[in-house]
A and B are shown apart, each in its own frame.
Chain A
């Protein structure tokens, strides 16, 4: 079978230098993208839970736009549309090219920020108001109440879905292979095109698995832990299920 052909493996392994570069690039883009997604998403999530109607609307529009349109289209827009806009505005004479790293970070960062926002919003809404009132009636200051009562409950609820978003974000960095390149998927595809052997994809598969599987285990652990203490109110989804 071709998959176990020693010479094909030898050729592929000899040419896998770029694959390591892509591996590191994918990890870097994922980490920076995750930072963008967490910061932007938390901001949007908090905005959607405020009393201010304008802030809520902005957050809602952002989330609906980014959740209901494909990442591929968004990234293409950033890649080819945005430089055109800059050129039309007269900032530069020639079209600017967005660097692959920036494109990847902004692309997956803004896309997953919409999902992070929903997770944060659900987390905030899941802790009942009575918890704060109860804590304050027991002499906790506001800060103490957040520190000891509210946030521990919120984190328990939001950590599993947040880790899940991180996993999806890593996988979605492969969108770069369609546009600017540089990432693991892109280099693996090049390797396969050059050699004509499937082996390059197998190596790529192993590398993604090495990055993602520890995270998948972490998600399992977080999920188990979040179910352990029944003190926190069940998440809205579970609540719906029970009432249905």
Chain B
């Protein structure tokens, strides 16, 4: 019984760090891009209305097609480092989801906040940065973090293009597993690793929600 030998563990953990790296980079980038998309969709009116329509088209396109499709398309069209390609694919896709989440937050900020900020001489960007966005983000913390969990889980789709992330490296180890016991031990290990990471995130969100209600 040495399917979880130090060599195998080290190999899988290498993949785990790639998973973390890809997830973290994609989440940060897609929150930024998603916020921009959400603001464009919500606030580009009048002569800039076409920009808003463009943002809507972007969001709907990615919302109505699978993540895996974009992983394959970007793999097919972009040359370069596998990790960077993965981050690009996940950013492009997740930005659309993040945009909808941020928009939910923007909509929940009362109109009076805008009017009050304007009356105090704040311009559009100052209003956004200092008044609206902080309130919007406070409201969407649970949804944002639940999306983080989704991104971490979905990086396992990257196995399809052979990126050396946790799922792919674990599958390589799985190839050397002999007998039912080793296979089940290995699956147990893979599931537990993902579970601990994601469960820790959801516990953190829950404690934040409790504090947010208490305040």
Contacts and interface: CB of A to CB of B under 8 A. Distances in A.
A155 interface: no
Interface stretch (B1-9, B32-40, B115-123, B188-196): B188-196
A178 B199 contact: no
A178 B195 contact: no
A70 B153 contact: yes
B180 A88 contact: yes
Given A201-B73, A240-B209, A213 B60 contact: yes
Contacts of B153: 68-72
Interface in B174-215: 174, 180, 183-184, 187, 190-191, 194-195, 198-199, 202, 209, 212-213, 215
B125 interface: no
Contacts of B154: 70
Given A192-B76, A212-B64, A243-B212, A73 B194 contact: yes
A77 interface: yes
Nearest to B67: A171
A171 to B, nearest CB: 4
Nearest to A196: B76
Interface in A201-224: 201, 204-205, 208-209, 211-213, 215-216
A208 B64 contact: yes
Contacts of A241: 108, 139
A68 B213 contact: no
Interface of B: 60-61, 63-69, 72-73, 76-77, 108, 138-139, 142-143, 149, 152-154, 156-157, 159-160, 167, 171, 174, 180, 183-184, 187, 190-191, 194-195, 198-199, 202, 209, 212-213, 215
Contact of B69 (A70, A204, A237): A204
A189 B72 contact: yes
Contacts of A72: 153, 156-157, 159, 167
Given A73-B194, A209-B64, A216-B60, A84 B183 contact: yes
A53 to B, nearest CB: 20
A244 B209 CA distance: 9
Closest 10 CB pairs of A and B: A212-B64, A68-B198, A72-B156, A70-B153, A174-B66, A171-B66, A88-B180, A70-B156, A241-B139, A244-B212
A64 B171 CA distance: 24
A103 interface: no
B5 to A, nearest CB: 20
A73 B76 CA distance: 24
Given A73-B191, A198-B77, A244-B213, A85 B180 contact: yes
Contact of A69 (B183, B184, B194, B215): B194
Contacts of A205: 65, 69, 73
Contact of B73 (A171, A198, A240): A198
Given A192-B76, A213-B60, A240-B209, A175 B180 contact: no
